[in-house]
């Protein structure tokens, strides 16, 4: 009843507190969502404003087209493509050169390449031969030959491109720049020429070469290298506009550019990272029979809108937004955390393909604080419940201990009564016989000896009870002295020897070390004697009893070994409890009140040691006392 009276109110308080916290979190989430919705609408308004200002946007791409949809500006140079005949010639020459190499005729192979390089009537084949000659010479360490071939390629074929679209002469200039450690100015000029030479989105080799040159520049001027890499991206934007013309932009112009503004497919640039198919916002105006317009990628439109919306300082208030395409691809902003409260708004008009997702960036801090409050309340509730449980458990254990103590006392009284009755009854009987006076002198001496023995038995019982009681208060510091373990063992054996011999036991002290320790001489001798006496009660007389001294690190171990029945594993702790003996106290064969082993353990603990028992190898029992040793 007491347990229930404590537990039920605490559970009720804990549940009410947790429900209140849950309500606070939900109300905070609602407020966050309301403010996030307002922010999302502001971003939508910013998108519309950016669309309206497209004509004056400095980053927009300008174009001009005929009413038929044909693009007039910008115009990309047509990429040069090797003819089928030239590709066949290269393949044949490659096979021929491979055959010469396999035959070990490297000189003939070099001569063949040099001869092909003179065929100026076939510039593509000649430029290819010079490229191969220079690369081979450089690989073989013939750097002067490589320089000569690269230089001849630059001077003789400045405009020839390879099958990827890369101008071979520019690649040759890059190789010479690497060989000769060209100056910063020469590298910048080379980078500009490479960027300007790209004529097709399919040409991924040209921007790759430009990036390598930019990296060399960045090694000495990081900021300049970053700017040059940006030039590659900027140049690619015009090519994407040109490529996007066939994706729908020309059709929109040919149809009269309905509504003057549209979102059209935008070509991907394979040379740029994360540049999958996208959309662009386009605005066009008809003037003097031609369409003039501007185009801006939706990524840039989204970025402009977020910058405009930030003028209201929403980030300082703890909010952010992400602008996504219908496919879910992120255009601008940051993706919201999975557990942050977010709201979604669809853009209007021509930008209806876009979705604005606004969310609170500081909600995680708020949620963390709420979780800390939640955990605090939960912990306090748990602690209170645990305290109640501990109190109830302690009460129950106290009652159980009291009941156990009462039972042990009853057992003790029964044992002591039984043990006291036997010597007292014997003494009384012998005294009565002597009082009658009809006992001869021989019997008088016998009765006297028996009376002395029973008196000793009674004194030993009383002494055990008194010693057990005295040890509850600990050892007297004045009684502690430096002792020899072997001497203690010898004295203990001597004190028990007469009784052991009467029982038919031989006690043997095993040879071993003689360590020193500090303790109460009488208490330790008594504890060892108790273990030896216990062994003679329950051991095998034929096997005798052995006392062994050993060292376990800095500790001294005094062991008593017998070959009796041993002690069951489940009872090895119980035998050291006071008043505890295995079996019925009134019918047990061996005399005693259950204080001997309890006294041994109490002596060991008083000396900062321990006492225990275990099964002896080969059968029997091993009882030991482990005590701290003393150096020197």
pLDDT over 50 at 313, yes or no: yes
The residue among 603, 619, 579, 597 whose CA lies nearest residue 531 is 597
Residue 284, strand partner residues: 293
Q: Which residue has the higher pLDDT, 9 or 197?
A: 197
Q: Phi then psi for 560, rounded to 5 degrees?
A: -115, 125
Among 288-297, 397-406, 518-527, whose mean pLDDT is lowest? 397-406
Helices marked H in 117-247 — which ranges?
123-139, 143-156, 168-180, 184-197, 205-220, 222-244
User: In the structure, what pLDDT confidence band is assigned to residue 515 with cuts at 50, 70 and 90?
Assistant: very high
Render pLDDT for 73-106 as a digit per residue (tens, 0 to 9).
887 655 555 566 667 777 777 787 778 778 888 8
The tokens describing 83, both together, are 């003819």
Residue 547, strand partner residues: 509, 560
Render pLDDT for 582-593 as a digit per residue (tens, 0 to 9).
554 433 455 555
Residue 73, strand partner residues: 64
Q: Which residue has the higher pLDDT, 537 or 76?
A: 537
Residue 285 is predicted with a pLDDT of 92
The full length of the chain comes to 632
Please check whether residue 143 is in contact with residue 179, taking contact to mean a CB–CB distance below 8 angstroms. Answer: yes
Residue 486 is predicted with a pLDDT of 93
Cα separations (Å) of 339 from 166, 358, 365, 370, 374? 49, 13, 12, 14, 17
Q: Which residue has the tokens 């929403």?
A: 314
Residue 621 is predicted with a pLDDT of 93
Mean pLDDT for 520-545 is: 89
d(CA 577, CA 598): 5
The tokens describing 458, both together, are 């009674």
Residue 490 is predicted with a pLDDT of 93
d(CA 368, CA 467): 62
Q: Which residue has the tokens 């030896």?
A: 532
Cα separations (Å) of 487 from 189, 517, 524, 549? 102, 11, 11, 11
Mean pLDDT for 508-537 is: 90
Render pLDDT for 480-499 as a digit per residue (tens, 0 to 9).
899 999 999 999 999 888 88
Q: Are strands 507-509 and 545-552 parallel, antiparallel or unpaired?
A: parallel
569, with CB counted inside 10 A (0-12, 13-18, 19+), is: exposed
Residue 72 CB neighbour total at 10 angstroms: 12
Share of the chain above pLDDT 70, in %: 77
Angle between helices 123-139 and 106-116 (to 10 degrees): 140
User: In the structure, what pLDDT confidence band is assigned to residue 508 with cuts at 50, 70 and 90?
Assistant: very high
pLDDT over 90 at 118, yes or no: no
Find the helix or strand (DSSP H, E) in which 101 lies: helix 84-102
Residue 39 is predicted with a pLDDT of 86
d(CA 124, CA 246): 30
pLDDT over 90 at 216, yes or no: no
Q: Is 611 helix (H, G, I), strand (E, B) or coil?
A: strand
Q: Which residue has the higher pLDDT, 577 or 145?
A: 145
Across 388-403, b (16+ Cβ under 10 Å) vs e yields: beeebeeeeeeeeeee
Residue 586 is predicted with a pLDDT of 36
**What angle (nearest 5°) sits at the alpha carbon of residue 247, between those of residues 245 and 251?**
70
502, with CB counted inside 10 A (0-12, 13-18, 19+), is: exposed
d(CA 255, CA 177): 51
pLDDT over 60 at 17, yes or no: no
**What angle (nearest 5°) sits at the alpha carbon of residue 424, between those of residues 423 and 426?**
65
Residue 610, strand partner residues: 626
Render pLDDT for 541-582 as a digit per residue (tens, 0 to 9).
999 999 999 999 899 999 999 999 888 888 888 888 766 665
d(CA 389, CA 112): 98
Q: Is 22 helix (H, G, I), strand (E, B) or coil?
A: helix
Residue 219 is predicted with a pLDDT of 78
d(CA 585, CA 567): 17
Q: How far is CA 228 from the centre of its chain?
A: 42
The residue among 142, 118, 121, 145 whose CA lies nearest residue 129 is 118
Mean pLDDT for 394-418 is: 70
pLDDT over 90 at 427, yes or no: no
Q: Phi then psi for 623, rounded to 5 degrees?
A: -105, 135
Render pLDDT for 71-80 as a digit per residue (tens, 0 to 9).
888 876 555 5
Residue 628, strand partner residues: 555
User: Taking all residues of the chain, what is their mean pLDDT, rounded to a whole number?
Assistant: 79
User: In the structure, what pLDDT confidence band is assigned to residue 113 with cuts at 50, 70 and 90?
Assistant: confident
Please check whether residue 322 is in contact with residue 18, taking contact to mean a CB–CB distance below 8 angstroms. Answer: no
d(CA 562, CA 542): 10
pLDDT over 50 at 334, yes or no: yes
Residue 457: HSE in the Cβ half-sphere, 13 Å Cα cutoff: 21
d(CA 230, CA 225): 9
Angle between helices 143-156 and 123-139 (to 10 degrees): 160
Q: Which residue has the higher pLDDT, 416 or 7?
A: 416
For the chain, how far is it from start to end, CA to CA, in angstroms?
A: 61
Please check whether residue 46 is in contact with residue 409, taking contact to mean a CB–CB distance below 8 angstroms. Answer: no
Residue 104 is predicted with a pLDDT of 81
Across 236-256, b (16+ Cβ under 10 Å) vs e yields: bbebbbbbbbeeebbebbeee
Strands (E), 6-87: 61-66, 71-73
Find the helix or strand (DSSP H, E) in which 261 lies: strand 261-266
Please check whether residue 517 is in contact with residue 476, taking contact to mean a CB–CB distance below 8 angstroms. Answer: no
pLDDT over 50 at 2, yes or no: no
The tokens describing 331, both together, are 């255009």
Mean pLDDT for 38-48 is: 87
d(CA 367, CA 96): 74
């Amino acid at each position: 009843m007491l347990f229930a009276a404590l537990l039920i109110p605490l559970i009720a308080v804990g549940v009410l507190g947790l429900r209140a916290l849950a309500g606070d979190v939900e109300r905070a989430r609602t407020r966050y969502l309301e403010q996030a919705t307002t922010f999302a609408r502001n971003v939508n308004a910013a998108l519309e404003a950016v669309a309206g200002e497209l004509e004056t946007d400095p980053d927009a791409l300008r174009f001009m087209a005929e009413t038929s949809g044909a693009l007039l500006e910008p115009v990309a140079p047509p990429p040069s493509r090797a003819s089928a005949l030239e590709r066949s010639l290269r393949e044949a020459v490659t096979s021929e050169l491979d055959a010469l190499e396999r035959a070990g005729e490297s000189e003939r192979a070099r001569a063949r390449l040099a001869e092909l390089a003179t065929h100026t009537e076939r510039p593509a084949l000649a430029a290819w031969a010079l490229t191969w000659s220079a690369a081979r010479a450089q690989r073989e360490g013939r750097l002067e030959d490589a320089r000569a071939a690269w230089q001849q390629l630059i001077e003789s074929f400045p405009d020839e491109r390879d099958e990827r679209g890369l101008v071979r002469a520019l690649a040759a200039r890059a190789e010479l720049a690497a060989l000769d450690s060209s100056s910063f100015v020469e590298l910048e000029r080379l980078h500009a020429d490479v960027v300007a030479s790209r004529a097709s989105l399919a040409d991924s080799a040209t921007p790759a070469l430009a990036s390598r040159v930019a990296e060399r520049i960045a090694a000495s001027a990081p900021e300049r290298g970053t700017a040059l890499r940006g030039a590659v991206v900027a140049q690619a934007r015009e090519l994407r506009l040109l490529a996007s013309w066939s994706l729908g932009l020309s059709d929109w112009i040919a149809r009269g550019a309905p509504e003057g503004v549209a979102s059209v497919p935008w070509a991907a640039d394979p040379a740029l990272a994360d540049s999958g198919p996208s959309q662009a916002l386009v605005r066009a105006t008809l003037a003097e029979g031609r369409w003039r317009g501007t185009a801006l990628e939706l990524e840039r439109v989204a970025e402009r809108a977020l910058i405009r919306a930030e003028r209201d300082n929403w980030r300082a208030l703890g909010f952010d937004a992400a602008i996504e395409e219908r496919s879910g691809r992120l255009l601008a902003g940051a993706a919201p955390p999975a557990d942050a409260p977010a709201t979604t708004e669809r853009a209007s008009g021509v930008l209806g393909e876009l979705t604005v997702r606004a969310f609170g960036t500081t909600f995680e801090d708020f949620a963390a604080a709420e979780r800390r409050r939640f955990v605090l309340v939960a912990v306090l509730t748990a602690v209170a419940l645990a305290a109640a449980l501990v109190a109830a458990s302690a009460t129950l254990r106290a009652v159980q201990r009291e009941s156990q103590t009462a039972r042990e006392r009853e057992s003790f009284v029964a044992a002591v009564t039984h043990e006291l009755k036997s010597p007292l009854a014997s003494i009384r009987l012998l005294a009565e016989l002597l009082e009658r006076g009809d006992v001869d002198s021989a019997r008088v001496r016998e009765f006297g000896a028996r009376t002395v023995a029973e008196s000793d038995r009674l004194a030993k019982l009383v002494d055990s009870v008194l010693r057990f009681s005295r040890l509850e208060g600990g050892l007297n510091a004045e009684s502690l002295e430096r002792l020899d373990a072997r001497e203690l063992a010898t004295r203990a054996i001597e004190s028990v020897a007469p009784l052991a011999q009467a029982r038919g036991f031989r006690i043997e002290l095993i040879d071993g070390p003689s360590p020193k320790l500090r303790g109460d001489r009488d208490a330790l001798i008594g504890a060892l004697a108790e273990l030896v006496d216990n062994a003679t009660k329950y051991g095998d007389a034929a096997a005798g009893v052995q006392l062994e001294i050993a060292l376990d690190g800095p500790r001294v171990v005094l062991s008593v070994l017998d070959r009796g029945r041993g002690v069951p594993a489940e009872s090895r702790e119980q035998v050291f409890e006071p008043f505890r003996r295995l079996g019925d106290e009134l019918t047990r064969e061996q005399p005693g009140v259950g204080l001997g082993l309890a006294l041994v353990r109490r002596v060991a603990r008083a000396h900062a040691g321990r006492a225990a028992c275990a099964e002896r190898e080969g059968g029997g029992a091993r009882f030991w006392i482990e005590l701290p040793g003393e150096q020197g």
